[in-house]
Amino acid sequence: MKSDAADAYRARPDSVTLRSNLMPVSMLYASDVPTAAVTGAQATRAPTELAQPAPPNPFNISLYKPNYLIPYSYMTSPDRAVYAGHSPDGEQISHSEVQFQISLKVPVLADIAKTRVSLYGAYTQTSFWQAYNRSAFFRESDYEPEVFLEYSWQRPLPGGWQWQLADLGFVHQSNGQGGTLERSWNRVYLSGTLVRQRWTVYLQAWHAIRGAGLLQHNPDISRYLGYGKWRVTYHRGRQSFSLMSRNNLTSGFSRGAWKLSWSFPLVQKLNGYVQVFSGYGQSLLEYNHRTTAVGVGVAIKNW
């Protein structure tokens, strides 16, 4: 999984058409940030009432994972050792910084051969900017292009749940640093999205492809970032609360990560956004370093 450098959180394309009084499909995906409101009447409707899927607009670029700007994030233990000798003028990494993420997706082939399977391309960039340092340098940016096939399943499950989506994809993640600071890996993944009224559950498992980049730059990355993650999101009104877990069970809770986020309405297309991260892999360069970070900012809702 990518760092959450993950998490992760993903608002999928509006490839399912809902009846007018149901939850918009963009809220059904495992994103940190809700893209629409859920009223009490909407929450009482069963996910099985979803209509047949409509193919996505083949030229529609839309939001993918959360798009946010956190003007102030505080880290308890920045990994100063890994940056030693690489920061401008030898400056130490500060506890305080700016963090932002940009994530977009575009449908490439919609509803292939009428199978309800669509092909998507996506790109995510997560950056950590030492804006409060004297040199105001970017200590890390992680780049994550990917392609995936998405099947709009809509399969009823016991207990009122519905299996909404299934994805098979390939993702590359790197920080583009080069030299001793280079970190990169390639993965194939399988994921699924389940919904039930106000709840969304996102499950993802992946396999790291053993290539030159993985072996040379970060051969033990799977020990810290694991082989999958899960995310649970609860929508209440125009707010959402999301919890992500990665590699906790596999590592016996010794090398995992948690991310808790809260999104709440501000104005129009902007939500307030609070994020708490604790564990390994906040950024790709620091995949084997443990830290806790708390940040407050804004997130863009789906346009």
Low-confidence ranges of the chain (pLDDT < 70): 1-59, 302-303
pLDDT value for 72: 98
Q: Which one is catalytic: 174, 184, 222, 283?
A: 174
pLDDT of residue 58: 52
**What per-residue confidence (pLDDT) applies to 153?**
85
Provide the pLDDT for residue 3. 43
| Distant-in-sequence, close-in-space partners of 118: CB < 8 Å, separation ≥ 6 | 13, 15, 55, 56, 107, 109, 110, 111, 112, 149, 150, 152
% of the chain surpassing 90 pLDDT: 66
**Active-site entry in 86, 95, 127, 172:** 172
pLDDT for residue 27: 36
pLDDT at residue 239 in the model? 94
Q: DSSP assignment of 4-71, as one string?
A: ------------S---TTS--GGGSS--SS-SS-B-HHHHTS-GGG-----PPPTT--EE-S-EEEEE
Q: Which helix (H) or strand (E) holds 259?
A: strand 257-267
Taking the C-alpha atoms of residue 122 and residue 103, their distance in angstroms, rounded to an integer, is: 7
Domain ranges of the chain: 25-300
φ, ψ for residue 267 (rounded to 5)?
Answer: -140, 140
In the numeric block, the tokens 């092909």 are attached to 119
Alpha-carbon Rg of the chain, whole angstroms? 19
pLDDT for 303? 53
CATH code linked to domain 25-300: 2.40.230.10
Catalytic-residue membership of 26: no
Residue 207 falls in the annotated catalytic set = no
